[in-house]
Amino acid sequence: MSDDILDTERYPTLGEAGRRMLAFLREHPAAPVYRNHSGNRLLAHEVEAARSFEEAVGRAHVGWLPGHTPDWVGSFIAETFRRVPYYRAMGRAPTQLAALPTIGRAELARDVTPFVPDDVDLARLLNFRTTGTTGHPLQVPSHPLVAARYLAYHKRALRRFGIELRHGAGQVGVMLLGFQQRCFTYVSVTPTMGESGLAKLNLHPVDWRHPDDRARYLDAMAPEVISGDPLSFAELLKLPMTWRPRALLSVSMLLLPGLRNRLEERFGCPVLDLYSLNEVGPVGVFDAGRQGHVLLQPELFVEILDRAGQPVPPDGRGEVTVTGGFNFCLPLLRYRTGDFAELAFDGGEVVLRGLSGRAPLRYRKADGAWVNNIDVTHALQALPLAHFAVHQAADGAITLRLDDNGRQWAPQARAALQALFGAVQVDIAPLDEEDKVVQYTSALEGAAA
């Protein structure tokens, strides 16, 4: 089957500008090996729907009053019970959200099929596979229009920092960076942005004819925005790239202020720290003025719950639990994300403060006092560490695992941890895993906060 036929399937509305852009991305002399194929798969009416959605999200107010539930939640519960087999099996829809049980990743991983609404067009259904760090591999049902909606929230986040996206026909809009031995890579175009180019590429040398081609290609593509995670951004800092994007978007992993500062200094642009989940999409963007991640989705309600599924007191810390969302293939009711934060109301906005993945964990200092994993993060935050893990053994010794990029900062990291813990043995060990790891672990009894 020819590339032209395949491109028609992947990009149903592809025009001449899009064809030229795909050729530019694929055929540049410094281009990497693109190992996979993907496309926007948007039909003409869906392109218009995506544009309208972007406009609506850009205008919408995000938030609710403390102690209140947004008005839309009641009708969302009723519709979800009517359309979704998992909830319909529970019987009559409750009128109060708090009457519903919570669900988590394990329920979705066991069998996601009952969570997909009856009226979803299965012929248009997409499945995104994710592994995460919880031991529950997951398939997330989606749709081309759902995938296109991500841009609306990225635009809202960028606008917060004074950036309006401009790149259109004949220009590359977004480069998505990975840094792994094996990485899903592809080229595409964004029809709502004049068929501007989009590419997911792997900065690992294994995907390039020559390592020097990485900087040459990025400079030639001149993307308006570069998206990645701390691992790929740490590798980007090593490259002699001269192009200056208008913004960097960091997703998927904890971004320490030290690394963010280095990126901002090097590239002279804002570095946005996005809290995003495969199951939920972009949830919030970090704003130092608000001291946390400001929520981005108008129809996503957030509760902070304790281990028993009860709301924590105001300003209390607990598990981020969400209702709503923009993925009409996976409507969520009280979904426990596995992430933890405090919920704050600041200047009419809703903010997640002290956000961290997985359950809180305590570490024991030399004097027997306990500190939590947030304190450990704070101790290391001035260092540009992209990938690390901290473990406390049963005898109290601390092991800090650092990747290749982070080992140059080992003396400073050890000193920072010893300042926090006191006269505790702190060892440095290699971190060889290329993907996410469970960042904070302990063998001490009583470490679970």
Q: Is residue 326 part of a domain?
A: yes
Domain boundary (355, 382, 404) is at 355
Query: pLDDT tens digits, residue range 377-432?
Result: 889 989 999 889 999 999 999 999 999 889 999 999 999 999 999 999 999 999 98
pLDDT at 446: 86
Grouping H, G, I as helix, E, B as strand and the rest as coil, residue 265 is helix
Residue 133 clears pLDDT 80, i.e. is over it: no
pLDDT at 1: 44
Tell whether 71 and 176 lie within a shared domain: yes
Angle between helices 144-160 and 44-59 (to 10 degrees): 30
Domain boundary (355, 376, 398) is at 355
pLDDT at 7: 78
Q: Is residue 191 part of a domain?
A: yes
Host domain of residue 386: 362-442
Q: Is residue 447 part of a domain?
A: no
Tell whether 334 and 388 lie within a shared domain: no
pLDDT at 132: 57
Q: Is residue 119 part of a domain?
A: yes
pTM of the model: 0.87
Contact 196, 223 (CB under 8 A): no
Q: What value does the mean pLDDT take over residues 79-108?
A: 96
pLDDT bracket for residue 136 (50, 70, 90): low
Tell whether 373 and 280 lie within a shared domain: no
Q: Which of 173, 201, 199, 172 is nearest to 188 (CA)?
A: 199
Contact 400, 416 (CB under 8 A): no
Contact 40, 147 (CB under 8 A): yes
In angstroms, the first-to-last Cα distance of the chain is: 57
pLDDT bracket for residue 353 (50, 70, 90): very high
The alpha carbon of 4 is separated from its chain's Cα centroid by a whole number of angstroms, namely: 33
Among the residue ranges 74-83, 126-135, 334-343, the one predicted with the least confidence is 126-135
Tell whether 345 and 391 lie within a shared domain: no
User: In sequence order, which residues have a C-beta less than 8 Å from that of residue 128 and are 6 or more positions away?
Assistant: 139, 140, 142, 278
Domain count, the chain: 2
Q: Is residue 434 part of a domain?
A: yes
Tell whether 84 and 56 lie within a shared domain: yes
pLDDT at 447: 87
pLDDT bracket for residue 146 (50, 70, 90): very high
* Percentage of the chain lying above the pLDDT 90 cut: 82
Query: pLDDT tens digits, residue range 53-80?
Result: 999 999 999 999 999 999 999 999 999 9
Tell whether 319 and 372 lie within a shared domain: no
Q: Is residue 448 part of a domain?
A: no
Q: Domain holding 193: CATH number?
A: 3.40.50.12780
Domain boundary (355, 377, 397) is at 355
Q: What value does the mean pLDDT take over residues 351-376?
A: 87
